[in-house]
């Protein structure tokens, strides 16, 4: 099929208390996240013994994909590399080269466009290839999959299951959340011809598709895990503030679906299962958090289908009218103005 390996490209997370601060410094290098915010986030990690679940979840998802590849008779070894923590993608690409790997397909663990979710993974590829030198393998990144039917259906089932846990009350409100980003980053995420805001429009579209499949007429899209200085506008409302607003409106039961994430990593288990759940309890609201899609067998099928689609140049299976984006070669932007970083104010 022309490719020697699949690179599982993810965010990374600490696996012990001493790794938390160096990890956070990697994440926020040069990004103007205030020191107080870092210390606050370090606390969240320390509640779990300094161990983020993200690496374990990625290893489990990789095992499922390896099984799916074997079941479909595809001979494609899977390598794991991260942006911010070991196994670092630079080391992984060096190992690929040592193993004689020449052409690589990369699967990024984010379904969406935008700087943090898409373009920054291209930068990771560029950095890793540069670190490895002139004979670095060629790395082709797979496309965004926020509107793939397997992604949508896995999340819709998880939302239905969360409603069932609350007894399928007709008055339960469904709330989708995704990681907030600076408004300027959302505007810069392209496509320029459509006025930008690719990230928030894709999140809204995924929520619409999931709600339609789950038969939910009324729902909200909100944001979580903001950082950055308070005077910089980020996407709002925050999930916790939104629970206050729903309470004020008399809502007594909520299902929260973290549609912006593929796995139950730290921002899900802290910001939702802890902070949001606690606020709901204070308001006497019933609360259920829907599962993320990586634990659904259809997630491994999705990854293998994206591989097949790419190598056979098949038409993209997608449910939204948005054009397919995110596929890049050696980290070069997939199109002009795609997922640009926000212009940072001079400091
Ligand atoms: C859009 C988006 C996704 C979804 C797409 C994707 O999945 O890639 C995502 C995922 C994640 N974000 C994560 C963790 C963190 N994100 C931070 C900071 C930031 N995220 C941002 C955006 C996103 N982040 C932004 C604009 C910042 C500000 C600083 C900057 O411009 O970079 C910080 C620094 C402290 C803080 O400021 O909160 C941490 C620790 C983890 C791992 C959790 C674990 O360890 O289990 C994951 C999967
Ligand atoms: Fe983040």
Task: State residue 343's pLDDT score.
Answer: 66
* CB-ligand 1 contact for 13 (6 Å cutoff): yes
For residue range 92-123, what is the model confidence (pLDDT) as tens digits?
999 999 999 999 999 999 999 999 999 999 99
Paired residues of 176 in beta bridges = 221, 257
Does ligand 1 come within 6 angstroms of the Cβ of 224?
Answer: no
Q: How far is the CA of 179 from the centre of ligand 2 (A)?
A: 7
Kind of pairing between the strands at 5-10 and 219-224: unpaired
- For a mutational test of ligand 1's pocket, the pick from 8, 31, 111, 225, i.e. the residue with the most ligand atoms closer than 8 A to its C-beta, is 225
Q: Any idea which ligand is nearest the CA of 117?
A: 1
Minimum CA distance residue for ligand 1 atom 32:
28
| C-alpha 167 – ligand 1 centre gap (Å) | 33
User: Rounded to the nearest whole angstrom, what is the distance from the C-alpha of residue 24 to the centroid of ligand 1?
Assistant: 10
What angle is formed at CA 203 by the lines to CA 215 and CA 116, rounded to 5 degrees? 155
Is the CB of 116 inside a 6 Å radius of any atom of ligand 1?
A: yes
For tokens 């494609």, name the residue.
76
180 is in an annotated binding site: no
Tell me what pLDDT residue 345 has: 46
Residue spans of the chain under pLDDT 50: 345-347
Q: Is 117 in the pocket of ligand 1 (CB under 6 A)?
A: yes
pTM of structure? 0.96
Q: Where are the domains of the chain?
A: 5-145+295-329, 149-292
Any known ligand binding at 121?
Answer: yes
| Residue range 258-278, pLDDT digits in tens | 999 999 999 999 999 999 999
Which segments within 68-163 are labelled E, that is strand?
78-82, 103-108, 138-141
What is the interface pTM, i.e. ipTM, of the complex? 0.95
Q: 149-292 adopts what CATH topology?
A: Rossmann fold (3.40.50)
Task: Identify the burial level of 266 via C-beta atoms within 10 angstroms of its C-beta, where 0-12 means exposed, 13-18 middle and 19 or more buried.
Answer: buried
Which region, left, alpha or beta, applies to residue 133 given φ > 0 means left and ψ of -120 to 50 means alpha? left
Question: 52-66 burial, b for 16+ CB within 10 Å, e for fewer?
Answer: bbbbebbeebbebbb
CA–CA gap between residue 115 and residue 316 (Å, rounded):
22
- Residue 189: CB within 6 Å of ligand 1? no
Spatial distance between the Cα atoms of 185 and 116, rounded to a whole number of angstroms = 9
179 is in an annotated binding site: yes
The answer to whether the 5-145+295-329 and 149-292 domains have the same CATH topology is yes
> Where are any strands of DSSP class E within 11-102?
78-82
How many angstroms is it from 315 CA to the middle of ligand 2?
A: 31
Long-range contacts of 275-281 (CB under 8 A, 24+ apart): 275/240, 276/224, 276/239, 276/240, 276/243, 279/240, 279/243, 279/244, 280/243, 280/254
Q: Which class does domain 5-145+295-329 fall in?
A: alpha beta
């Amino acid at each position: 099929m022309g490719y020697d390996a699949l690179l599982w490209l993810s965010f990374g997370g600490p696996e012990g208390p001493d790794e938390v601060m160096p990890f956070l410094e990697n994440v926020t290098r040069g990004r103007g996240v205030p020191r107080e915010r870092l210390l606050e986030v370090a606390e969240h990690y320390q509640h779990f013994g300094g161990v983020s679940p993200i690496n374990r979840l990625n290893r489990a998802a990789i095992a499922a994909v390896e099984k799916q590849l074997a079941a479909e008779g595809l001979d494609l070894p899977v390598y794991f590399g991260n942006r911010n923590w070991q196994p670092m993608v630079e080391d992984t690409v060096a190992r690929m080269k040592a193993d004689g790997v020449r052409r690589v397909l990369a699967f990024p663990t984010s379904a969406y466009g935008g700087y943090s979710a898409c373009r920054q993974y291209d930068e990771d590829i560029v950095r890793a290839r540069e670190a490895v030198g002139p004979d670095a393998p060629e790395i082709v990144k797979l496309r965004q999959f926020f509107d793939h039917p397997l992604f949508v259906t896995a999340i819709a089932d998880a939302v239905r299951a969360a409603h069932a846990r609350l007894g399928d009350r007709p008055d339960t409100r469904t709330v989708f959340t995704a990681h907030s980003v600076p408004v300027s980053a959302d505007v810069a995420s392209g496509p320029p011809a459509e006025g930008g805001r690719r990230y928030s429009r894709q999140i809204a579209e995924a929520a619409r598709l999931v709600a339609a499949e789950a038969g939910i007429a009324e729902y909200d899209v909100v944001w979580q895990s903001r950082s950055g200085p308070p005077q910089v506008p980020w996407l709002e409302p925050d999930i916790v503030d939104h629970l206050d607003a729903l309470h004020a409106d008399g809502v007594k039961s909520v299902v929260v679906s973290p549609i912006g994430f593929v796995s139950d990593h730290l921002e899900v288990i802290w910001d939702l299962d802890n902070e949001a759940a606690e606020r709901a309890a204070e308001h006497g609201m019933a609360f259920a958090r829907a599962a993320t899609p990586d634990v659904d067998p259809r997630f491994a099928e999705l990854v293998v289908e994206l591989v097949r689609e790419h190598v056979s140049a098949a038409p993209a299976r997608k449910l939204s009218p948005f054009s397919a984006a995110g596929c890049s070669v050696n980290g070069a932007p997939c199109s002009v103005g795609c997922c640009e970083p926000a212009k940072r104010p001079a400091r």
